[in-house]
Structure 1
Amino acid sequence: MEHLPSHNSLYNDKDYWDERYRIEDSFDWFGDLSSFKHLLDPHIGSADRVLVLGCGNSTLSFDLYCSGFTSITNIDYSSVCISTMAAKHPNCPGLEWYQMDARKLSFSDSCFDVVLEKGTLDAMIADERDPWNVSPETAKTLQCILKEVSRVLCPGGRFVSITFSQPHFRKRHYARRELDWSIQHYSYGSGFHYFMYVMTKGEPLSPQDSELEDKLLKATCPSLTSCLEGSDSEDYLNNIEL
């Protein structure tokens, strides 16, 4: 891909994204809406109030708008991205654009029916070398974002996360009782598969996901750190199909 960074750490660099958005017209991680619409449709309706985290220059929001969605709020921490996307879609009532940090959303509690992210969390952990054990800083960032997502979701609302990350890697971040949601996951694609996770606010974790959380909590205790020993480390970023 033409705009690949020289190092994965740049995925966390605002200047990198600002410059990329100045020169790149559009890019969709993990395919456009048509790639996973069949999985998304049962969990989202055109009247839903939708928040898109880290919208970037993806066509996703405009494609949803063209499909009949009437309330789509887009945020990105790059002001260049937001100004460019707002200028690109000037006559689309209900399609709104805000520069904002996903770690501190400027929205009231329970104000969205759906929060949607596609590749945003992947970019935030792109510099991690071991998906089994991300750094404390990255783990804190992810949990901060997930708490904000849970806060702005209304009861029965859905958080939809689209990623290349397999369940044994990603569920360890999503399976938290404090987030007050259940977890389902699906896959799509041929050859290399991508994953869609749907978290439903107000539904309990399954027994298996509750067990996963308990296991991970025990693993944080010094005397029980052997819980995850023997896990393979891998440079999982090599699997991203750009």
Structure 2
Amino acid sequence: MSAGQMDHLPDVNSLYKDVDYWDERYTTEQSYDWLGTFSKFDHLLGDYIKKEDSILILGCGNSTMSRDMYNAGYHAITNIDYSSVCISTMRARHSDCPGMTWHQMDVCQLSFPNSSFDVVIEKATLDALMVDEKTPWKISSQTASFIHQALTEISRCLKTGGRFISVTFAQPFFRKRLYARTEYSWSIKHQSYGEGFEYFVYAMTKGEKLSPEDVALERKLKEDAESPTPVSVTQTEAN
């Protein structure tokens, strides 16, 4: 990480969920790519994205991914971010890209009709919603609600047969706990990339069923959530 990138790091991780932090950061920062540039994982996407697909990029930030995908032949790209500063800057920067649009929007409240997109992509956007969680084993009810709202909206906006692509540092043991829900109406596959640090690309296909393994995971998580917390008993109480 360069000195310039270090200048933009927040004092506390919770600021990653604060739009004012991002507005200020995007005012001066030219570009930053979480989890590497598009070239690091584009080889994994050939089975999931076609050049003519309508694509929605969530939490686009000032990443080069939209431009890189456009240059690679993906021209029907809609970008959203909840920072109006980011959207204004990126819209002006990409005025030479006909077919690419930019909108200020919350990932939990997408203003698109049902079945609008062939592909929805997020890269580290959901990670940013979980930065101040103390452990990946059990996230807070508030964060879990945010994630569920976002995934429900993503599923709603996907066409049948469409793909939700999630690029993250979260290992399958932790991330599939969030994605493996029958109500989202998708199957889950994953691959990884990177040297030294390993990152993961999850591909959810709308209209396909969860694998038996993922159905079992969903059932177990539901049972764990419904079971009462055991009461610890001291030696004195036991006697």
Distance of 1:222 and 1:151 partners within structure 2: 30
Partner of 1:210: 215
- The alignment's TM-score, normalised by the length of structure 2, stands at 0.93
Q: 2:108 aligns with which of 103, 106, 128?
A: 103
In structure 1, how many angstroms separate the alpha carbons of the residues matched to 2:202 and 2:33? Answer: 18
1:4 aligns with 2:12: no
Give the equivalent residue in structure 2 for 1:53: 58
Please list every run of at least 4 consecutive aligned residues from structure 1 whose deviation after the TM superposition is greater than 6 angstroms.
none
Residue matched to 1:138: 143
Q: Tell me if 1:165 matches 2:186.
A: no
Task: Identify the residue that residue 235 of structure 1 maps to in structure 2.
Answer: none
- Partner residue in 2 for 1:26: 31
Aligned to 1:121: 126
1:191 paired residue number: 196
1: distance between equivalents of 2:75 and 2:169? 28
Instruction: Tell me the percent identity.
Output: 58
Match of 2:152 in 1: 147
Distance 1:191 1:92 in 2: 35
Following TM superposition, by how much is the alpha carbon of 1:222 offset from its aligned partner in structure 2, in angstroms?
3.5
Which residue in 2 is equivalent to 1:230? none
Q: Verify: 1:88 aligned to 2:79, yes or no.
A: no
Residue equivalent to 1:221: 226
Look up the SS of the partner of 1:25 in the other structure.
coil
Residue 73 of structure 1 aligns to which amino acid in structure 2?
Answer: T
| One-letter amino acid of the structure 2 residue matched with residue 82 of structure 1 | I
For 1:163 and 1:40, how far apart are their aligned partners in 2?
14
> How many positions carry a matched residue from both structures?
225
What is the distance in 2 between the residues matched to 1:72 and 1:6? Answer: 33
Instruction: Give, in angstroms, the shift of residue 199 of structure 1.
Output: 0.1
List runs of 5+ in structure 2 lacking aligned partners.
231-239
Matched to 2:218, the amino acid is E
- The AA in structure 2 aligned to 1:63 is D
Aligned counterparts of 1:166 and 1:72: Cα–Cα separation in 2: 28
Deviates most, 49-58 or 85-94: 85-94
